[in-house]
Amino acid sequence: MNIILFGPPGAGKGTQAEFIVNRFQVVQLSTGDMLRAAVSQGTELGKMAKAVMDAGDLVDDAIILGIIGDRIAEPDCANGFILDGFPRTLPQAEGLDSMLAEKGLKLDAVIEVRVPDQELFSRIEKRAAETGGARADDNAETLKKRLEVYHSQTAPVLPYYQDKGMLKTVDGLQTIEAVTAEIMTILEG
């Protein structure tokens, strides 16, 4: 099963992805986690990505597509994967399509977790407090930029999947358990 989990920063994608991983034995592929690992390891990719991430901007499409292309070719992805935080632009969505077609793979579901901006500010503030500011981009100023980027560059990807009849939207204001239950119904249906 190959799934895209969509949603703005703080929507709960990472939390829900974990439940899906446990239920369906798929691999969670979070481009944000991969980039943060590169930053903490101090690799060339990490050095390049850090400033972009700290500013709340998006890392270059070609780089992201390269990372995902390499990752989904690895053996642990054979049982399926859940894409968390990717694709984030239309070129990434199109690149993913060609990549999957080349490998003879397809998407089974595209799920959007929808949460209004106002709620995201309080959630990100809470996450920053809980993690002791572990993520440099978890602050009100950068979140504002990340949300702008989400609305201008990522939200336009939704109609792309809607036109393919693949998009399912879940109300992310519900409790974590209720969101999980809706997602499971979609995936099992």
Count of chain residues binding ligand AMP (CB under 6 A): 17
Provide CB contacts within 8 A for 38, sequence distance 6+. Answer: 45, 46, 49
Three-state secondary-structure class, residue 112: strand
Residue with tokens 């990490």: 46
**Quick check: 9 binds ligand AMP (CB under 6 A)?**
yes
Provide CB contacts within 8 A for 125, sequence distance 6+. Answer: 140
Gap between the Cα atoms of 50 and 2, Å rounded: 29
What amino acid occupies position 103?
Answer: K
Q: Shortest distance, CB of residue 146 to ligand AMP, whole angstroms?
A: 5
Binding pattern for the stretch 76-95 against ligand AMP, x by CB under 6 A and - elsewhere: ---------xx-x---x---
Residue 144 tokens, joined: 């504002």
Binding pattern for the stretch 93-122 against ligand AMP, x by CB under 6 A and - elsewhere: ------------------------------
Q: Which 18-57 positions form the footprint of ligand AMP (CB under 6 A)? A: 31-32, 35, 52-53, 56-57
Residue 47 tokens, joined: 């050095």
**Quick check: 161 binds ligand AMP (CB under 6 A)?**
no
Site residues (vs ligand AMP, CB under 6 A): 9, 31-32, 35, 52-53, 56-59, 64, 85-86, 88, 92, 137, 146
